A = this chain, B = another copy of it.
Amino acid sequence: MSASDVVEEYIAQLSRWGRWGPDDELGAFNFTSAETVRAAVAEVRSGEVISLTLPYDQRGPQPGGFRSNPQLITTATGTDHVAGAQEQLPWGPAKGFGYADDVVVMPLQCGTQWDALSHIFHRGQMWNGYSAAEHSSAGAKRNGIERWCGRMVLRGVLLDIALLRGVAALEPGYAISVADLEAAVQAEGVDVRPGDALLVHTGHLEARRNRWGDYAGGPAPGLSLHTAPWLAEREIAAIATDTWGVEVRPNEVDRFQPLHTVALVHLGIAFGEMFDLSRLAAACRAEGRWSFLLVAEPLPITGAVGSPVAAIAVR
């Protein structure tokens, strides 16, 4: 069977287009509910909060070009205040008052981030069959990241594949299989439930931290295309990894990012990328407990195809 055939075959078997009606823009977040929120909150024991987000700054993983690292721009500074350039405030007497202000220029997928359902297309369509032309220079009229606001209070499960394989980090090109996922579930004694967020720890981010090289676009470990049926069956809402693109690179078949095509475009699953899972993995290993409350709301940037995210695990 040719590469394209495999992808089309999975789509034919698994696609959820239309499952929640012709106007759906939530995708797999239809598996979440007030009940899953309560279950997520019930995972909190100690009150420890672990941030999963890389710093957004010029030392980030991007090499420049297509997606640069975020640029912080100052529009008023403490030095302005100290040097006397703020003595005449436009709004009232200063009398010692000073201020700083700033702007960020940020490619929305430059660091820790969610892909929206408008991020990827297949043969002219995005999630639920909307035309790709619903995304233009004006942004996304359908499936924008803002559709998910209020949905990112999730039960999180960490599957630690690096631990399973007995390595600090999986090698670039390592394709995480269904067998790996099942083995991790068994080893950890954790259950994966509908509406969960699955966090997959490869160790690749830690191996490259601050020596990024081609981290943000090069070869990487990641999920095999052939995990698509398993992901579908588990009815997870979201999957996130400590790599730039969730799925293994180079791709297993002769086309670009086939798992995005199946699992994001046709299953409606949120893809989280460049999540910093090192501290969380260490905490899970130390305690032998692999589930937690994950809060990871995207910014409601209207029509955006992704969003940076201040993701936290609460344990």
Contacts and interface: CB of A to CB of B under 8 A. Distances in A.
Interface stretch (A19-27, A129-137, A165-173, A200-208): A129-137
B295 A136 contact: no
A308 B56 CA distance: 13
A194 interface: no
B132 A300 contact: no
Given A79-B85, A122-B97, A256-B94, A297 B314 contact: no
B308 A132 contact: no
A276 B80 CA distance: 32
A57 B137 contact: no
A96 B122 CA distance: 5
A189 interface: no
Contacts of A118: 78, 100
A304 interface: yes
Contacts of A139: 72, 74, 102
Interface residues of A, number: 118
A104 B47 contact: no
Given A79-B137, A89-B256, A150 B312 contact: yes
Interface in A45-65: 46-51, 53-59, 63-65
* Residue with the highest number of chain B CB atoms closer than 10 Å, among A37, A100, A146: A100
Nearest to A110: B103
B80 A136 contact: yes
B257 A314 contact: no
Question: Taking the full assembly, how many copies of this chain does it contain?
Answer: 4
A98 interface: yes
Nearest to A48: B34
A263 B168 CA distance: 46
Interface in A133-165: 133-140, 146, 149-153
A120 interface: yes
Given A34-B46, A49-B150, A312-B150, A120 B97 contact: yes
Interface of A: 3-4, 7, 33-38, 41, 44, 46-51, 53-59, 63-68, 70-86, 89, 91-109, 118-124, 126, 131-140, 146, 149-153, 217, 250-251, 254-257, 260-261, 293, 295, 297-306, 308-312, 314
11 contacts: A34-B47, A49-B153, A63-B64, A74-B136, A78-B118, A80-B137, A82-B133, A97-B260, A100-B135, A104-B106, A295-B295
Given A56-B302, A73-B103, A153-B314, 13 more contacts: A3-B95, A34-B48, A38-B44, A59-B302, A81-B124, A83-B136, A85-B133, A85-B136, A92-B250, A97-B121, A97-B255, A298-B310, A299-B308
